[in-house]
């Protein structure tokens, strides 16, 4: 007996030691690349000295400034464009209004992408994007850049907070109200859109409720509407169905908030969220037992999102060899990751917004309420080609510098940062601005390479796995970098 | 995926299905003549490629990186080739190599992106066009429907001059690399990373569809085993297939020699010469060197004065090669005017690059270049009638 006791104690000590031991380069690389778009060799080395727990805690601590966005928001975000006022405009004024709204959409996307590029806490942006893809609304339907901006702030506010709070507030978010037709949902005239999606996509998941539940839930949410002049949530009691509803076997005079609490009480809700987080951060195939374990922790901690995320990021599954390079980079990850990794300096975001849309991910405009499916869906013959085109054009040169004034003193009419609203600058078209934005891209290959000391694993910093094609002998420096980013392995994280 | 879907899926940024309904009567082009464009990505340094070895100014501008007079392969009393281009001397002696100097355009732009866009779209430096010059040419004078594609891009995903419009263009990577990758995709079953498998499968599908073009012809001619050599081999196989193409674009990368230019350019030019020679041998083997015209191009030349890092910065006018069985070998254009550098220290141009394009369009294919080039340009008289 004593021998067994000693052996068991030794085993416990051993695994405790392992859990607290430095994570090493490979694990640090995995952690940082999956949470931060890209990582430098210095960052990886710094985290390599930490244990998994310390590393993840450090990362999560860095998100505490998540509601502070360093990129200045566009000037118009505080002015809601009331549709009532728009209806009073002349035909010509309406055309102008539509042009301005389009331009605002570009500025909104530019704002977010700029933040992704420059933020010291990329994990914050990853999570805001995660929630944007969960609580989907699209500018295409919502039509108001102001409301989409406000939704973004809301997602940001709760990104690492309590899922229950997030759910309650998103349900009342004006952009969401518009997107899921909540305002059309009235006593006697139910619109089931929100009810269906809140159960199917936001909380329980398919198969965990019935059609009758949807009808009853819709009744509970009647009266949820928005004030068309201020673009703010308003509850219209006159059209609210006050009767008794039966949802998932429970009965009562539920309103929307009460129903949300019922949904939050179901274990499937926590499992749905953890499953999605798994697919985002760990692998395409969630481990059912692990999901249940982490979902229980999630629920037991009042749906504290940080708790769930932490559990995933310290799990053995996250670092398991078979899960290395098991995920495909989304368009935003590819673009932002490449620009961050290689320290590109950029002008306007428009070329990158264009490419991101071409690759299938238009910020603020997921294709439908299910969001971007992600994973292998990102890659088909057209998008793979477009990804390679982007990388080839970014790495065409050893370096790119912002273009000086052309030879004979003539400049292109637009400089980066010029306010081109269409007024007072005849002949400026978006093509020109696009070209100008491309010319503002600044990349210094030699400088990027100089961060590495002899013996540093350059390949490992850039690639999540061994390259598919062996590097050609004798190729070094930036030519080697170019080969790495054009290797299929670069598409993986 | 059938071939039409495949062409649609990867036929450039503005993928359009099939041929335009409005295919108007330009006269049919002599597209049995093939154009092979060789892009020297990054901007090759023309001054060290076609060396003005008798010009003392050259040596005073480049104390560290100039090519020594006794190493230059003489073409005439004032110009010679970089020693790495030794394999091209056979062509020079056969009068199949035209060396065109001082190629550029007015209002030269020094940005990689913008300048290559100007070359690819044959635009003025102040205008912004979407479509490649070949796309416009093929829209005006269509390539026969029986051809497998209008143009093929090998070794790159950038369509360049073939971009846009309703061009039927394909991007093919390096055959060898595909074969290796597709083997990886099919073996090792379940232990294989599913995401990687998917990536490789998509690439493989592209290649499979493209293999209708690829006769897998086995050339006796040997191709050098580097990236350009492999791309030339793939291009040659595409050309050898019975289905035709009008134009092929092959890219060689790495010419942006901001530092330590000597070693890099030595290797790149050697690879270029080897690739060009191998392509020539292959075309001769299938009896079509006389119906092939090869032309180099790139975004710009480089600054005459060397920089602090034994390299060169972006420049303007450049030297380019045109080769083929019916080329009138010789030197064209004027030698680099090193005494007439502009305010940025860059060379003036003599031959507009669109003159070279017009040579391909008007003289080689016999199509109307005015539409494709948005103007009238003077072909360089380097093709034998």
Asked if residues B53 and B72 have their Cβ atoms less than 8 Å apart, the reply is: yes
Q: Nearest Cα to B317, choosing from B296, B339, B337, B343?
A: B337
Residue A15 has pLDDT above 70, yes or no: no
Tens digits of residue pLDDT in A278-291 = 999 999 999 999 99
Residue B191 has pLDDT above 90, yes or no: no
Rounded to 5 degrees, φ, ψ at B241 are -70, 150
Q: Report the chain A residue with the minimal C-alpha distance to residue B348.
A: A407
Cα separation of A335 and A140, whole Å?
23
pLDDT of res. A474? 72
pLDDT of res. B166? 77
Residue A9 has pLDDT above 60, yes or no: yes
Mean pLDDT check: name the lowest of A23-32, A357-366, B93-102, B201-210: B201-210
Q: Give residue for tokens 């035909």.
A: A91
pLDDT of res. B90? 96
Q: How far is A44 from chain B (nearest CA, A)?
A: 24
Q: Is B196's CB within 8 Å of A446's CB?
A: no
B330 Rama sector, left if φ>0, alpha if ψ -120 to 50, beta otherwise: left
What is the DSSP code (8-state) at residue B28?
P
Q: Which residue has the higher pLDDT, B265 or A445?
A: B265
Mean pLDDT check: name the lowest of A115-124, B9-18, B191-200: B9-18
pLDDT of res. A233? 96
For an interface test with A, the pick among B107, B111, B121, B190 (most A C-beta atoms closer than 10 Å) comes out as: B111
Average pLDDT over every residue of A306-314: 98
pLDDT of res. A439? 82
Average pLDDT over every residue of A301-328: 97
Does the beta carbon of B302 lie under 8 angstroms from any beta carbon of chain A?
no
pLDDT of res. B18? 33
A227-246: burial string, b at 16+ Cβ within 10 Å, e else: eeeebebeeeeebbbeeebe
Q: What is the C-alpha radius of gyration for chain A, rounded to an integer number of angstroms?
A: 25
pLDDT of res. B214? 60
Which pTM was predicted? 0.81
Average pLDDT over every residue of A53-74: 88
Owning domain of residue B307 = 3-373
Cα separation of A483 and A490, whole Å?
10
Nearest to A396 among B41, B128, B259 (CB): B41
Q: How far apart are the first and last CA of chain B?
A: 43
pLDDT of res. B29? 62
Cα separation of B178 and B172, whole Å?
9
DSSP assignment of B293-350, as one string? Answer: EEEEE-S--B-SS--TTSS--B-S-EEEEEEETTB--EEES----TTS--TTS-PPPS
Cα separation of B337 and B272, whole Å?
26
Mean pLDDT check: name the lowest of A140-154, A436-450, A467-481, B232-246: A467-481
Helices (H), A252-410: 256-265, 267-281, 288-300, 305-314, 316-319, 331-341, 350-358, 381-394
Residue B17 has pLDDT above 50, yes or no: no
Tens digits of residue pLDDT in A395-443 = 887 666 655 433 333 333 333 333 333 333 333 467 777 778 888 888 8
Tens digits of residue pLDDT in A374-394 = 999 999 877 888 898 899 889
Find chain B residues with C-beta within 8 A of A438's C-beta.
111, 113-114
| B383 occurs within a structural domain | no
What is the Cβ-side half-sphere exposure of residue A22, based on CA atoms within 13 angstroms?
10
pLDDT of res. B188? 39
pLDDT of res. B208? 65
Does the beta carbon of B266 lie under 8 angstroms from any beta carbon of chain A?
no
Instruction: Calculate the average pLDDT of chain A.
Output: 88
Q: Nearest Cα to A379, choosing from B203, B4, B61, B133?
A: B203
Mean pLDDT check: name the lowest of B120-124, B153-157, B290-294: B153-157
What ranges do the domains of chain A cover? 1-69, 81-118+134-265, 331-406+425-491
pLDDT of res. B193? 85
Cα separation of A24 and A53, whole Å?
13
* Other beta carbons within 10 Å of B341: 19
Does the beta carbon of B3 lie under 8 angstroms from any beta carbon of chain A?
no
pLDDT of res. A8? 65
Asked if residues B250 and B38 have their Cβ atoms less than 8 Å apart, the reply is: yes
Mean pLDDT check: name the lowest of A189-193, A375-379, B101-105, B115-119: A189-193
Q: Is B198's CB within 8 Å of A376's CB?
A: yes
DSSP assignment of B155-204, as one string? Answer: S-S--GGG-STT--EEEE--HHHHHHHHHHHHSSGGGS-HHHHHHHHHHH
What CATH number has the domain bearing residue B182?
Answer: 3.40.720
Helices (H), A79-121: 83-87, 91-118
Residues 314-343 of B with CB under 8 A from A: 316, 342-343
pLDDT of res. B13? 29
Map residue A233 onto helix, strand or coil: strand
Nearest to B108 among A407, A465, A492 (CB): A407
Does the beta carbon of B308 lie under 8 angstroms from any beta carbon of chain A?
no
Asked if residues A26 and A283 have their Cβ atoms less than 8 Å apart, the reply is: no
Does the beta carbon of B172 lie under 8 angstroms from any beta carbon of chain A?
no
Asked if residues A151 and A134 have their Cβ atoms less than 8 Å apart, the reply is: no
Rounded to 5 degrees, φ, ψ at A269 are -65, -50
Residue B2: partners with Cβ closer than 8 Å, 6 or more residues away: B209
Mean pLDDT check: name the lowest of A25-29, B73-77, B320-324, B341-345: B341-345
Mean pLDDT check: name the lowest of A223-232, A342-351, B211-220: B211-220
**Structural domain total, chain B:** 1
Residue A23 has pLDDT above 80, yes or no: yes
Cα separation of A353 and A276, whole Å?
25
Q: Among residues of chain A, what percentage have pLDDT more than 70?
A: 89
pLDDT of res. B12? 33
Tens digits of residue pLDDT in B39-56 = 999 999 999 999 999 999
Find chain B residues with C-beta within 8 A of A382's C-beta.
9-10, 15
Q: How far is B227 from chain A (nearest CA, A)?
A: 9
Q: Give residue for tokens 């969630």.
A: A286
pLDDT of res. A399? 65
Calculated CA dihedral for residues A119, A122, A128, A131, nearest 10 degrees: 170
Instruction: Provide the ipTM.
Output: 0.82
Residue A371 has pLDDT above 70, yes or no: yes
pLDDT of res. A17? 60
Cα separation of B317 and B106, whole Å?
10
∠ CA B83-B86-B91, nearest 5°, is 140
pLDDT of res. A395? 87
* Other beta carbons within 10 Å of B334: 13
Q: Which residues is A420 bridged to in the sheet?
A: none
Tens digits of residue pLDDT in B256-269 = 998 889 999 999 99
Q: Report the chain B residue with the minimal C-alpha distance to residue A387.
A: B157
Find chain A residues with C-beta within 8 A of B13's C-beta.
358, 386, 389
């Amino acid at each position: 007996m004593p021998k067994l006791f000693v052996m068991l104690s030794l085993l416990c000590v051993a695994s405790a030691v392992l859990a607290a031991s430095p994570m090493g380069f490979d694990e640090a690389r995995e952690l940082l690349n999956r949470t931060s778009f890209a990582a430098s060799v210095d960052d990886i080395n710094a985290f390599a000295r930490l244990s998994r727990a310390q590393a993840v805690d450090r990362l999560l601590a860095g998100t505490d400034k998540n509601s502070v966005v360093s990129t200045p928001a566009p000037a118009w975000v505080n002015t809601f464009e009331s549709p009532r006022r728009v209806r009073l405009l002349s035909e010509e004024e309406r055309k102008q209004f539509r042009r301005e709204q389009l331009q605002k959409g570009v500025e909104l996307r530019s704002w977010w992408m700029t933040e992704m590029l420059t933020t010291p806490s990329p994990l914050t942006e990853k999570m805001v994007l995660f929630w944007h893809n969960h609580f989907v609304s699209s500018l295409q339907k919502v039509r108001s850049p102001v409301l989409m901006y406000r939704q973004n702030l809301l997602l940001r506010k709760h990104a690492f907070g309590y899922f229950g709070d997030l759910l309650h507030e998103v349900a009342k978010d004006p952009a969401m109200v518009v997107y899921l037709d909540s305002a059309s949902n009235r006593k006697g005239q139910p619109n089931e859109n929100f009810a269906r999606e809140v159960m199917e996509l936001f909380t329980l998941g398919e198969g965990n409720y019935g059609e009758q539940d949807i009808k009853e839930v819709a009744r509970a949410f009647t009266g949820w509407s928005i004030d068309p002049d201020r673009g703010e949530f308003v509850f219209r009691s006159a059209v609210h169905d006050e009767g008794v509803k039966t949802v998932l076997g429970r009965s009562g005079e539920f309103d929307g908030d009460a129903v949300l609490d019922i949904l939050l009480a179901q274990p499937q809700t926590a499992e749905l969220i953890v499953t999605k987080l798994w697919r985002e951060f760990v692998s395409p195939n969630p481990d059912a037992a692990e999901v249940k374990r982490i979902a229980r922790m999630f629920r037991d901690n009042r749906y504290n999102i940080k708790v769930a995320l932490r559990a995933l990021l310290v799990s053995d599954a996250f670092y398991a060899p078979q899960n290395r390079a098991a995920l495909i980079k989304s368009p935003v990850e590819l673009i932002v990751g490449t620009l961050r990794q290689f320290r590109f300096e950029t002008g306007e975001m428009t070329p990158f917004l264009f490419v991101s849309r071409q690759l299938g991910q238009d910020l603020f405009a997921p294709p439908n309420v299910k969001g971007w499916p992600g994973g292998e869906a990102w890659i088909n013959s057209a998008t793979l080609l477009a990804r390679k085109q982007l990388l080839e054009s970014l790495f065409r040169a050893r370096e790119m510098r912002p273009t000086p004034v052309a030879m004979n003193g003539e400049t292109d009419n637009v400089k980066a940062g010029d306010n081109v609203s269409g007024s007072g600058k005849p002949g400026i078209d978006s093509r020109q601005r696009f070209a100008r934005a491309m010319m503002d891209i600044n990349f210094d290959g030699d400088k990027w390479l100089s961060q590495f000391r002899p013996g540093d694993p350059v390949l490992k910093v850039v690639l999540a796995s061994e390259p598919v094609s062996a590097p050609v002998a004798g190729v070094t420096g930036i030519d080697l970098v170019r080969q790495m980013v054009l290797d299929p392995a670069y598409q993986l994280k | 995926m059938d071939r039409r879907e495949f062409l649609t899926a990867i036929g450039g940024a503005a993928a359009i299905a099939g041929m335009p309904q409005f295919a108007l009567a330009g006269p049919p082009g002599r597209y049995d003549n093939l154009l092979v464009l060789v892009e020297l990505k990054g901007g090759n340094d023309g001054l060290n490629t076609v060396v003005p070895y008798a010009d003392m100014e050259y040596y005073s501008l480049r104390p560290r990186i100039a090519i020594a007079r006794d190493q230059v392969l003489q073409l005439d009393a004032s110009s010679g080739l970089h020693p790495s281009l030794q394999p091209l001397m056979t062509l020079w002696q056969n009068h199949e190599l035209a060396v065109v100097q001082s190629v550029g355009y007015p209002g030269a732009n020094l940005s990689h992106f913008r300048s290559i866009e100007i070359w690819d779209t044959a635009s003025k430096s102040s205008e912004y066009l979407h479509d490649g010059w070949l796309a416009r040419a093929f829209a005006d004078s269509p390539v026969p429907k029986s051809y497998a594609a209008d143009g093929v891009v090998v070794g790159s995903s950038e369509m360049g001059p073939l971009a846009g419009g309703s061009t039927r263009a394909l991007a093919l990577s390096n055959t060898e690399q595909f074969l290796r990758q597709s083997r990886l995709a099919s073996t090792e079953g379940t232990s294989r990373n599913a995401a990687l498998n998917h990536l490789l499968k998509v690439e493989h599908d592209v290649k499979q569809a493209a293999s209708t073009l690829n006769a897998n012809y086995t050339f006796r001619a040997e191709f050098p085993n580097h990236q350009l050599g492999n791309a030339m081999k793939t291009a040659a196989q595409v050309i050898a297939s019975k289905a035709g193409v009008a134009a092929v674009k092959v890219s060689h990368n790495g010419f942006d020699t901001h530092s330590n230019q000597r070693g890099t350019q030595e290797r790149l030019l050697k690879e270029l010469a080897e690739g060009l020679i191998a392509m020539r041998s292959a075309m001769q083997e299938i009896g079509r060197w006389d119906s092939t015209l090869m032309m180099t191009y790139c975004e710009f030349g480089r600054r005459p004065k060397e920089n602090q890092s034994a390299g060169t910065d972006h420049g303007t006018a450049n030297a380019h090669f045109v080769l083929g069985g019916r080329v009138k070998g010789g030197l064209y254009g004027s030698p680099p005017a090193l005494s007439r550098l502009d305010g940025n220290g860059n060379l003036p141009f003599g031959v507009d690059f669109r003159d070279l394009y017009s040579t391909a369009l008007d003289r080689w294919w016999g199509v109307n270049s005015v539409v494709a080039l948005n103007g009238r340009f003077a072909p360089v008289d380097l093709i034998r009638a």
